[in-house]
């Protein structure tokens, strides 16, 4: 009989519909392969059976996928019947974090050849969940519009929320989300990353900063103090600084800081760098040197203190 036929499948289906999960899983002691096939469509229980079989790496993958599944597909349909309706295994972000932590433990226990990479990916997803919680807290505190804080949002949705909020804290959070996605995500969303840098530049009044620098004759120390408070400095430190962390390759592989660092392969990409993005800012003609100094100092690539008219950047 096929996977949807036979007496064992009939028994499994009835027990699942009646939510008699412990009885169902105990049958896995005798009908291991049959129950594995049945639970492929019920991943809310599959990971428990995989752990019983000491298939820890498989259980880790099942838990990881379950933790990141959307609410409407986290628990497959149980079918028709009196007991078909039951609550979802995942109702909060805390539930998802719990599943991710179980996935991490299972991956470490299984110790497959690529378990370290899997653990790093799980840890990155845990960080993204934490960032989502932080984003929702800021949005709830500053906006009348209410969001479903327990709904899992895709990384691009989180980043777009940060951009729409026009909030300095969330402007920086957008880079945190980018950092813990993946190299492929950053490459395929370079235009969105560009918008994040535009947004970061808009968080400070660079025209006013430049005017104050001129009128007040800032010392080297005062210039550095003022620039450290800007979003450009903080974003550069987050993405390019010596303590910057990302999943897989760094930001410099996708969006170099300076134009001369770009390894553009097409004419369209020649000016694709943070510097090129800032050059499009309305205040760049006057405050461009301050803006560039902010990102260079933030990245730790330029330890030279500014003197006079910011000569190190000329």
Number of domains in the chain: 2
List all residues 6 or more positions away from 26 whose beta carbon is below 8 Å from its beta carbon.
Answer: none
Residues 104 and 220 in one domain: no
Structural tokens at position 263? 């390894």
pLDDT for position 70: 78
List all residues 6 or more positions away from 262 whose beta carbon is below 8 Å from its beta carbon.
Answer: 256, 269, 270, 271, 272, 273, 276
Residues 246 and 113 in one domain: no
Residues 77 and 215 in one domain: no
Residues 163 and 306 in one domain: yes
pLDDT for position 142: 77
Residues 97 and 189 in one domain: no
What is the per-residue pLDDT across 150-161, written as a single tens digit (0 to 9) for each?
899 999 999 999
Residues 301 and 167 in one domain: yes
* Phi, psi of 300, rounded to the nearest 5 degrees: 80, 10
* Phi, psi of 11, rounded to the nearest 5 degrees: -65, -45
Residues 186 and 50 in one domain: no
Residues 186 and 268 in one domain: yes
Residues 12 and 72 in one domain: yes
- Range of 76's domain? 7-118
Q: Does the pLDDT at position 59 exceed 90?
A: yes
What is the per-residue pLDDT across 83-107, written as a single tens digit (0 to 9) for each?
333 345 677 999 999 999 999 999 9
Could you tell me if residue 163 is inside a domain? Answer: yes
- The 8-class DSSP code of residue 304 comes to P
* Phi, psi of 245, rounded to the nearest 5 degrees: -125, 140
Could you tell me if residue 298 is inside a domain? Answer: yes
Residues 164 and 290 in one domain: yes
Averaged pLDDT, 190-215: 96
């Amino acid at each position: 009989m096929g996977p949807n036929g036979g007496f064992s499948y009939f028994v499994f289906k009835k027990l699942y519909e009646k939510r008699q999960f412990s009885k169902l899983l105990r049958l896995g002691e005798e009908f291991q392969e049959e129950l594995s096939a049945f639970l492929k469509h019920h991943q809310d229980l599959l990971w428990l059976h995989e752990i019983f079989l000491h298939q820890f790496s498989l259980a880790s993958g099942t838990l990881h996928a379950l933790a990141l599944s959307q609410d409407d597909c986290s628990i497959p349909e149980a079918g028709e019947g009196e007991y078909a309706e039951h609550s979802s295994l995942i109702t909060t972000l805390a539930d998802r974090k719990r599943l991710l932590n179980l996935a991490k433990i299972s991956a470490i226990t299984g110790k497959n050849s690529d378990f370290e990479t899997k653990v790093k990916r799980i840890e990155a997803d845990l960080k993204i969940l934490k960032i989502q919680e932080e984003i929702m807290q800021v949005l709830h505190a500053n906006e009348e519009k209410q969001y479903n804080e327990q709904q899992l949002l895709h990384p691009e949705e989180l980043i777009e929320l940060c951009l729409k909020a026009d909030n300095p804290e969330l402007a920086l959070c957008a880079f945190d989300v980018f950092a813990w996605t993946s190299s492929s995500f950053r490459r395929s969303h370079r235009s969105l990353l560009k918008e994040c840098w535009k947004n970061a530049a808009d968080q400070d009044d660079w025209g006013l900063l430049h005017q104050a620098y001129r009128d007040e004759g800032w010392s080297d120390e005062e210039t550095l103090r003022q620039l450290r408070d800007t979003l450009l400095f903080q974003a550069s430190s987050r993405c390019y600084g010596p303590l910057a962390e990302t999943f897989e390759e760094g930001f410099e592989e996708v969006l170099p800081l300076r134009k001369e660092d770009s390894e553009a392969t097409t004419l369209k990409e020649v000016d694709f760098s943070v510097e090129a993005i800032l050059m499009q800012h309305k205040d760049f003609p006057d405050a461009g040197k301050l803006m560039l100094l902010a990102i260079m100092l933030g990245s730790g690539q330029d330890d030279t203190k500014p003197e006079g008219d910011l000569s190190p950047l000329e």
